[in-house]
Every structure is written in structure tokens, then in C-alpha cells.
Chains A and B, each alone.
Chain A
Amino acid sequence: MLRQMAPETGDLLTVSDLTVSYAGAHAPAVRDVSFQIRDGERVGVVGESGSGKTTLALAVSDLLPRAAAIRRGSVTLQGTDCSTLTPRALRGIRGSVIGRVPQDPLAGLNPVLTVRTQLRDAIRAHRSLPKGAERQEIVDVLQAVAIPDIDAKLRLYPHELSGGMRQRVLIAMALVNHPALLVADEPTTALDATIQAQILSIIRRASLDRNMALVLVSHNINVVASVCDRIIVMYRGEIVEDAPSDTIYRTPLHPYTKVLIEASKSQPLDHGEIDIDGDAPSAGCQYRPLCPHPMPQCDREHPLLDDIGSGRSVRCFAVTAVPTRAHEEGRPSSATQGTSTTEWAGSTSDRPPHGDLRGGQGRPTSAQLGPVLVAEGLVKLYKSRGRSKRQVLRAVDGVSLECWSGGTIGIVGESGCGKTTLGRIISGLIEPTSGKVSIAPGGQGAPDPLGPRRGTVQMVFQDPSESLDPHIRIAESIKEPILKGHESSLPNRVNAALSAVGLDPKLGGQLPHQLSGGQQQRACIARAIIAKPSVVVLDEAVSSLDAILRNEILRLLIQLQRESNLSYVFISHDMTAVLAVSDRVVVMYLGRIVESVGREALKRDGFVHPYSVLLESAQPRPGSAGDLPELLVRTNVELPALAVRGAGCRFSNRCPLADDRCRTEEPELSQYSSDHVAACYHAGELRQHAS
């Protein structure tokens, strides 16, 4: 077993039997975790929220919050047991031997100090260099994280930098003293896919160039696999599998690992909701309640993390009890059938193309039904204040779209592309500057521009805990949209809505904080559907959920749609989620639709606008951060300020295909093929690299 192995030379970090508990919690957040990291090794830690991965990362970098304490076990760094060190010695390690990249780049930098001060202090905490050498260190490290225009950036305060730039500065602060180990906790979760790809590439490059070991924590196994050589899977505070990245993708052994890999691609799943807040079984395997193939001993005995050779360890009787190398005979997971959404278009697999949650069978085609939502020429302008010259922000700049009854229109784009503003215009939360939205009440008849919006359009927001009033019981919140109805029928309708979203009607009496994140989002969906709307606008409704929860919510949405002929406007920055649920994918860039393509046409043509191709290629795939697609390197530009834009195509300054015409003349949406329009003079000329 791993924990009994003697430390070898080259071992940078040894964690043995580490158990960490939070004050007041009955179960430890991290339980008997043991692993080793060699110099320069890149290890990913993956698991859903509540699996203990962040606590583990904090324990390793000696930054546990005050409420948490190491109950058992040890962290040994370069041969020294960290628990024997004085606070002063620990401070000497932090920032010099271990660098840390935090999760939220917007909150990670001190808002009242300049970039220069914060970088300089990071150096001075450990070394005193002559002024010139100190400056050189700062310039070197900022170049390593690809920050342009260094002198100007150093003088700035964090709020003057974009999210991606702030994360680069934070990585620079972690790297500036040449640490032997970098701990990055969800470093890209808050960032757009394009920025994420760049940041992951920077982290991997830094690790390779400096022979620096890396612990990368994420809920997204694709993110981890894109950078790391080895993956540790955690479930309920325990390591359930530990194996090289390529092997774990090819032949995941633990049933939970299989679920994680499937969920990362929005495949339909056969397992119940994982209630991480619930009680674990008192004896036996913790995964037993969810396991599809439990064995008799799983109820009685707790499986150990067993080394099964070839650098793999797994905590599962089904694998370890059979000595005949069961893992090599195991059914290869569908994960081997390609991990890139590019293959989506031409998949020859007998399964539905991966990422496809809907299937095509038995669904009415759009032509048979009328449009339920028609938006025409929508424009929303915001006057930006505080400038000497009044500048106008064109948040939505001439958008027209239709949504068919029972269909889903997926809107995807980076932050700032106007997708949220568009969703709010459709739901009537804000008025467009010009243009109109027409909605067919009850999903029938012709869309009526003057019809009442309330009740016919409902919204579901990103953060369920913030969109439910914390002081009001769930049933009361759900009741809100139908309060004008008959009093006597209200409780029945609330119960019906709760059942429809898969919640026990008893939960209606609870307060939001008593529900898990997944249950809260289900309650929000119940509130949206109770008034029998024709259109539901889902604004990043699954973006704050981890892969498994996201998958469950997506399946629920599709099921509800089939039952009640709902139409969805599904807004997300996550291409995978959009591809999984949409009949039509609409790509927005800086307030405009640049590509709009039906499901069948997308399978046939793939994306044809360079920006859509860029978004798609930015999705993390195993090993992808090693060779950042050239497209992403060439488009290494932050979104230009929306207000300062010249003539021509709005994507031309990032586009590898841009020519003189693109820079002077803005392309209109034009037909590429049937059911497929794009606003590009070079549509279809750029294809993603074959992967």
C-alpha cells in the first residue's frame, strides 16, 4: 500500500494518513489521505464540492483556516515534518518553497495596493536583493506568465486589470521565489474558457520550465487532465483512485471515477443524486449507496486504497478483490471515444454523439410547430458614465432570434458578450433600447408583442443560494409566481412542482440553507415552472455546479421540457453544457450573433465562425494545455473594451483570418448552409486542429 512505502530520494512532498476536521463537523473533511509527489511532478486532485480537495490543498500549503485542525497524520516537505516547524519556519516555507494560486482572481489580490508593491513584498518576505536584481526578478516572472506591457501594469491597482490578467499576476506572485511546489486551487473556475486555456498553459509551462511540482485542484477532471500527469480522485474526504492521467481516462477503475469522467462530458448518467451533506454509511464502503455494482463485503468492510501496480491505487473491492488484473479487462469507458467536442460532428459511435443529452428520436422538428418566442432587432445601450466624453456601451447590438415551441436555443459566448443582457431583455427584466420581443402566451397562437410577460417567461439564475430568499421557506418561494391563483389549489400545485423537479414535497417546509446546492437549484426550477410558462430563460443555471450536479440538472431540464413542452433559452459560457441541451446554438460576440446553427447542421458542418472555433478549441482536454492550439496563442488578446471599437468586424483584432476587408467592413449574418448562418467573410476556412 502506498502509505507504507518509504520516502525515496526525489520525493518532494509526502502526505501520510492525513486527517483534517472542521470544528463542529462530525465527519472529517479529509480522512487518512496518503500520497507522495516527486520533484517536478504534476498531480491533479479532482472531486465534487465537499470531497475535501480544497481542504487538502490548504493543509498541504499550511493555510488551513482557524476552524480546521489536523487530527492525525503528517505533511512532510523535503524531508521535514511540517508539524514540527515553528510558525516562523512555516512562514519561511510559504511563498518560497510552496507557491499558491487562489481560486478567485478577482478577490485574490489586495485591492488597495499596486501590483508592484504586492510582487515586491512577495520577494522581500524571503530575500533581500539589490534593487536591480529585484526588478529583474519581477520582470522575468511577469514575462513567464505572459503579461504584456510590464512597466505600465506594475503601476496599476488590481481593479484596473481584467480577471485573466489578475490571475496571471497571482501566478507570478506564487512563482517569484522559484518554489519547488505550486498549489493551485481551482485557478480557472471563475474564468472564461479561452482565458482558462491560456492560464492552464501558463501553469503547465512554468512547471516544465522550472522543474516545479504542481498540485492542481479542480472539480473538472478535464481541466486537471489537461495539465497533470497523475490524477488523484477524492470522494468524501478519501482518495478513491490515484493513477496516471492517460490510464485513468482510458480505464477508470473506481465507479466514482467513471461517473466523474462521464459527467465531464454531459453524458446521461445512471445514478442517484449524490447528497454530500447526508450521512455516510457507518460501516463499509462510503460509495456503497451509489455504486452500480456493489459486492457483499461492501456493506461490512471499508475498502483500503490498494496499490495495484503500474502506478495505480484504487479503493474498491470490485477491483482489488479479484487478483487477475481486473482493471485491464474492464470494459473501456466511453471516455476513450474521443474527448474533444470536435469529434461531435463526425462521431461514428453507436452511442449518441458525446455531449448530446437530448437524442434526436421522436422530437418534433421545428417546422411542425410555431415560434413561441420572437425577438427582433434587439438593441440595448448603456451610457458609460465618468468619462470626459460620453461613451455608449452597446451591450446588445442588433440581435434577432426565434425559439420554437418545446425547443432549446443555446446562447454561448465569453463574459461581456451580452448574453446575460439578452436573457434579461427576453424575460422582461430590462427594456431594450429598441427592438421588440414577442411571446406566445401558453405556448400557443401567434407571439404577441404586447402580451403580458410575467408568468409566460420565467428565469433561473446562476447561484441558487442567492436567488432564494434565505428567510422564506422553500414552498413559499415556489408559490410566489402563482399567488394570484385560487388559494385552495396552491399547496397542491407547489407539491406537484416539487415532485416534478424530483424533490420530496416535505422539503417545502425547509429554509434554503437546509438544502444542498443541487436541491436549491431544483427548487429554483420548480419556482420557474409552477406558473406553466411558455419560455424559461436559464442564465448560467448550471455554471456554479460541479460536473455531476450539472449533469443531473441538465437531465432534469430535458425531462421537464419533454413533459410540458417548455421552451428554453439556455445561456452559458460553457460550450459543453450548451451543446448538450440545445436544438440551436447561437454564438455571441460583443453584443452580436456571429453564428447561429441548428443541431443537425452543426453535426454536418461543425462551427464555421473563427470565434466559435476558438471557443470550442478552448475546452480543456487531456494533455491539451501542453500544446495550446495555435489559434489560442494567436488570439491571446483580452476582450477589447466594448466602447472603443473601430469599423469592421468586431472579431478582426483577434482573428487569425482577418484581412483588409474584415477591418473596414462589418460582415452581416449570411447563409453558410441550410439552417446555418455566420457573420464572417471567411466562414468555414478555419478549422480546429485535429486532436
Chain B
Amino acid sequence: MSGVLKYVSSRVASSIFTLWAISIVVFVVLQQLVPGNVADIMDGSGDATPAQVHAEEVKLGLTRPILDQYGTWLGHALTGNLGVAPLSGQSISQVIAQQAPISFELAFLGLLIAIVLGVPVGILSAIHRSSAGTDVLIRLPFLLVYATPVFVSGALLLLASAHYFTALYSVTYVSLGSSLIGNLKVMALPSITIGLTEAGLLAQMSRAAMLEVLSQPYIVTARASGLRPVRLYGLYALKAAALPILSLIGFLYGLLIGGVIVVEQVFSLPGMGRGLLQSITNREFGELEAQVLIIAIAFIGGNLLVDLISPLFDRRLVSA
């Protein structure tokens, strides 16, 4: 048991450390290295005197030492107070609370579709590797979709829905809270766009992981014992191949949270991807930092989750 405890605590600790390191990098890079600050932007017309801009900077705390600023910011962030967006006057926490769930849901649904489609395809094509025809037929459509940029496939889906599945065609976002069905309708097309694309990647990875396992001597042992194919592939091969597939899924989840910008743009979803784009354009560093950190949390959280369930598949990870 001590092995498990040690494993879990070391994973959690290293995740927290990584997150902290990212917060520093994000803060320093965005505050210090990017030219211009929000005070310049507020002075959109450029007719404020330098003194006025400076006064605004002092008011926003931009002239204080960087460590000081970081300390204040970290203290606030940990208590959920991310400050106020200077331009809109909205609470950053509120803005994030509106944007983030959309992106999280989109990434989750998209990944779900990708797993359901991609993993079985990868496994089947590994099992049927000797018949080249089957292998190619199974994988080819996925590779084609994977090779298509999402703004193309998304737009095509949108176009198709306008003609054939008008129920799914929608331009106004419905939140999960107000209507589950309505929300799922809105999310359907963007999720399918992401799901189809990532399914190609998952299929490839599952196939590679499965092929690797199928070449192992212990699979020959299992065949030599006369195991039924369902048991052989379903347990002996799949359980051993699960780890690399899981790792990719954890990695993809984080990647998708930050990578849904284009899809959100195509389907006009007010998620974090679009928010991120706005924050950059407006040099809303407070908001940007929060968004980048949320993405980092998703990334690290996804990988941590995978790390934590990995010992269920391979006990060697927690053996002392």
C-alpha cells in the first residue's frame, strides 16, 4: 500500500509544482516581456498625456515591483478573486466562469466521440493487420478526416446541417444550465467536428500500441494456452496496451481545451478559445493570465487523472 501512497503523492506534488512554475512563467512573460499594457489600450485614441497614462498605471498597480505584483495576484487567484477586467469592468472570475464550461464541455464531448470511434478502429485494424485490405479500409476514412483542417470540416458540417439536419443548425448558444437538450443540440456539431478529427489520431495510436503488444512473447504464451480470441484480445492484449492509449487521451484533453479556438470561431461558441483571442487583442493581461492558467490546469489535471488511474492497468507503476 505504501507504494500506492507514494506514487499518488508524488504525482500530485509534481502536478502542483508544475502548475506553480507555469503561473510564474505566465505572469512574468505576459507582464514584463510583451510590449504595451492595458493602460495604453484604455487610451485607445492616443490623446492622453504620458502623465495620465502613468496615473492609470499606478492605479492598476503596474508600477509596483514584479514580485510584489505576482504575490498579490497569486494571493487573489488562490482565493478565487481574479480581479476586474479594466476595459469591461466585469469580474474576471465571472468571465472565466462563463467561458470555461463551454470549452471544457466541448473538449470532453469531442474526446468522447473520438474515443468511441477511434480506439475500437485502431484495435480492430491491429488485429486484422495481416489482411492489408481490411486494415486500410478501416483506417483510411479516419486518416482523411484527420488530414482535413477543422475549419474546413467544421464549415462543411455546418453547411450540411443547414440543409439536412436543421434541428442541429444553430447560431445561438444555449447554456447547459438553462436546457440540457438545447445545449447538447448546440454542442453536437462542434463536438462531432473535434471527435472525427481526433479519432484519426487515437485510431493510429491505439493501433500502434496494440501492434506492439501483439508482438510480445506473452501474447504467444496466451495463444499457446488456447485462449479464446475475445479473451486474448479483450483482456490479455488490451489491458497491456491501455497505458499508451490512456496517456494520449489525457494529453489530448488538455490540448483540446486550448485548441478549440478555431472550432469555437466556426460555430460561434462563446468559449474560452474566443475569449483568449479577445484578451490578446485587447492586452487584457489579467484575463489572459487566468485563461492560460485554466488551460494549464486542464492540461495538468488531465494528465494527473490518467497517471492516477494507470496503476489499475499496470501494477509495476506502484511496486516499491
Contact = CB atoms under 8 A, between A and B. Distances in A.
Interface in A89-141: 91-96, 98-100, 102-104, 107-113, 118, 121-122, 125-126
B220 A63 contact: yes
B224 A95 contact: yes
Given A125-B231, A388-B2, A61 B314 contact: no
A125 B220 contact: no
Contacts of B223: 63, 94
Best-buried of B3, B6, B221 by chain A (most CB within 10 Å): B221
Contact of A110 (B221, B224, B228): B221
B235 A157 contact: no
Interface in B189-235: 216-218, 220-228, 231, 235
Interface string A57-98: 000010100100000000000000000000000011111101
A572 B62 CA distance: 70
A107 B240 contact: no
B224 A61 contact: yes
Interface string B216-259: 11101111111110010001100110000000000000000000
Interface string B264-301: 00000000000000000000000000000000000000
B130 interface: yes
Interface in A616-640: none
B220 A92 contact: no
Contact of A95 (B218, B226, B239): B226
Contacts of B231: 121, 125
A159 B225 contact: no
B225 to A, nearest CB: 4
Contacts of B235: 113
A531 interface: no
A102 B239 CA distance: 21
Contacts of A387: 320
Contact of B218 (A66, A99, A108): A108
A68 to B, nearest CB: 12
Nearest to B216: A107
B20 interface: no
Q: Which of B218, B225, B316 has the largest number of chain A CB atoms within 10 A?
A: B225
B130 A94 contact: no
A173 interface: yes
Given A102-B217, A157-B315, A160-B319, A113 B225 contact: no
Contacts of A174: 224-225
A170 interface: yes
A104 B220 CA distance: 11
Interface size class of A (residues with CB under 8 A): 35 or more
A125 to B, nearest CB: 4
A386 interface: yes
A170 B2 CA distance: 29
B17 interface: no
B165 interface: no
Given A113-B235, A113-B236, A125-B231, A107 B217 contact: yes
Given A159-B316, A160-B319, A386-B3, A111 B218 contact: yes
Contacts of B319: 157, 159-160
Nearest to A105: B217
Contacts of A386: 3, 6, 320
Contacts, number: 88
Contact of A108 (B130, B217, B239, B314): B217
A618 B33 CA distance: 71
Contact of A102 (B221, B227, B228): B221
Contacts of A159: 315-316, 319
Contact of B236 (A100, A107, A110): A110
B52 to A, nearest CB: 61
B221 A170 contact: yes
Contacts of B320: 386-387
B218 A107 contact: yes
B239 A125 contact: no
Given A112-B313, A125-B231, A95 B220 contact: no
A63 B315 CA distance: 29
A122 to B, nearest CB: 4
Interface string B1-43: 0110010000000000000000000000000000000000000
A63 B227 CA distance: 13
B226 A126 contact: yes
Given A93-B226, A121-B227, A387-B320, A108 B221 contact: yes
Contact of B226 (A96, A109, A111, A113): A96
A91 B230 CA distance: 13
Contacts of B216: 107
Nearest to B221: A108
Contacts of A113: 235-236, 239
Contact of B221 (A92, A125, A157, A173): A173
A126 B228 CA distance: 9
B317 to A, nearest CB: 10
A160 B2 CA distance: 16
Contacts of A100: 221, 224
B282 to A, nearest CB: 50
A96 B228 CA distance: 13
A174 B225 CA distance: 7
A125 B227 CA distance: 5
Contacts of B220: 63, 102, 108
Nearest to A384: B320
B75 to A, nearest CB: 36
A121 B224 CA distance: 12
B224 A63 contact: yes
Contacts of B218: 107-111
Contacts of A99: 224
A592 B226 CA distance: 46
Contacts of A96: 226
B226 A91 contact: yes
Contacts of A388: 2
Contacts of B225: 94-95, 121-122, 125, 173-174
A63 B220 CA distance: 8
Contacts of B3: 386
A109 B222 CA distance: 8
Nearest to A126: B226
A112 B240 contact: yes
Interface string A151-170: 00000010110000000001
A63 B232 CA distance: 15
Contacts of B222: 110, 118, 121
A159 B314 CA distance: 10
3 closest A-B pairs by beta carbon, nearest first, are A95-B226, A100-B224, A95-B225
Interface of B: 2-3, 6, 130, 216-218, 220-228, 231, 235-236, 239-240, 313-316, 319-320
13 contacts: A61-B224, A91-B227, A95-B227, A104-B217, A110-B218, A111-B314, A121-B222, A121-B225, A125-B226, A157-B315, A170-B221, A173-B225, A174-B225
Interface of A: 61, 63, 66, 91-96, 98-100, 102-104, 107-113, 118, 121-122, 125-126, 157, 159-160, 170, 173-174, 386-388
